[in-house]
Structure formats: structure tokens, C-alpha cells
Amino acid sequence: MMARSGRMGYVDRRMPSRAPAASRDFGLFLDVDGTLVELQETPAAVVVGEALKTLLVEVSQRLQGALALVSGRSIETLDALFAPLVFPAAGLHGVERRGASGARRGANCCVPALAGARLALSAFVESHPGTLLEDKGRALALHFRLAPEFETGARHAVFAALRALAAGYHVQEGKMVLEIKPDGFTKATAIEEFLLEQPFAGRTPVVVGDDLTDQGGFRLVEALGGISIAVGHRVQGQWRLDNPAAVRRWLGSIAALP
């Protein structure tokens, strides 16, 4: 299957694993789950090891701080995972963002408008063993990774909860997860904001991700002459790495720059 990939022309989704040569000119935007770390059965099971933390510090130093985490998790959760490190970050697929200066917008909070959806999805989880509701405050994610037989029911429950909400929300699909989140925010919009600020402005933007939520960022940086790197085979990028271990090896090549 052939697909467009920006300035690189057309590449095969089954292209061999490879990534661009390391450069100090990169402005790096990294997804977390499935990209930096392997997916686990539940979000709470993910642990970020000291070796990865050290690697990211070294990469950030080589890029003069131009490394940001761009994730579906909240910034609060990212900070807990990577503690004591604090990186520029976009959380909840762009709903909240913290720049390199520490300035933050969209701070995580529990939005009353989601109260009804929270109750409805909690009831679904209670009656469908193996499903999990991840309450992110401004967004709600229903996971069915451990119970794929309930995917149809999960879809019905999530879209029913969405219809009961006031305008301003939509469903974001991911790997074995459906998430209700506010309209108007994506990983791409967060990356656009980062690129207007130092130390990202003027650099070659590089987005690394593994899921549907990363595609907008891919297309954005491709249009700007940047680089997209897909992890695995679910999404299409200009380059591809097989798995998080391959991503960490590639980051090691940036850390090794003189």
C-alpha cells in the first residue's frame, strides 16, 4: 500500500525500519506510550526507567532543550512518570501544554460538563470486566485492551455518552481505546504552538509516534519541511522504526553527538 509522505514523496507502509541521521538541528516531539515505552495492559502499569530518563536528558542537552513530550496523558501524569525531570510537554492530545519557559495553558482540572459521561462510562466498566475508564479530568478514555470482545459495546457506550454532552466534544480513537475530549485541540495544534517559541523555533521539527493521534503532527511537520517517524505499522510516516526499543536506540545516536 502506497501513501504520501511529504517531501519524501511516496513510500511503502511496509518500508524497512530506518530513521534519519542524528542532527543537532532537530526540534523533537515525542509520543510516550508505544513510542518511548512499550504499551502495557493498563496505563498505570507503565514505568519509565532510569536509563530512559538519562537518555532523554542527554538528548535534550544536545538539542539545547528542544525536546517535548506530546502525549494523550495529562501533564501531571507525565511529570509523575518522568520525575524528577520536567520537560516541555503537551498533554491530553494538545488540550494542555507547557512550554520550555514553564508557562502553561489548559491546566488539568475536572470539568463538570463531563460528569454525566463519567457516570455512564463508570457504569459500563462495572458491568464489563476487563474494561477500564481512565479519568483524565478534561477527557475520559475507555480502554478495552484486556477485553476486546467488548469493543462494540464500548463504542456504543462512548458515543451514547458523547451525544448526551453539550457541543464541544468529540471521540478520539486509539489503540484499543476510545476517548471523549474537547474539540479544537490536537497534538498538531500543540506542536504548532511549540514551533513559535524558543528553543523550537527555527529548528527542523521531528515528530515520532505510533498511533492515529500522531498523524496530524506528521502531516504538519511534513508540510513545514520537517520529519515524521512512525513507530510500528499502524500509521504512516516518512521514516519508520519497529518499536520503542528501536526509538531509544535512535535517540541514543542523538545523545552520542559530539
Question: Pairing between strand 140-143 and 169-174?
Answer: unpaired
- Contact 211/186 with Cβ under 8 angstroms? no
Catalytic residues: 31
Burial 17-46 (b: 16+ CB within 10 A, else e): eebeebeeebbbbbbbbbbbbebeeebeeb
Where do we find the cell 518522568?
A: 82
In the chain, the DSSP E strands lie at 2-4, 10-12, 26-30, 67-70, 89-91, 96-98, 104-105, 132-135, 140-143, 169-174, 177-182, 204-209, 227-231, 239-241
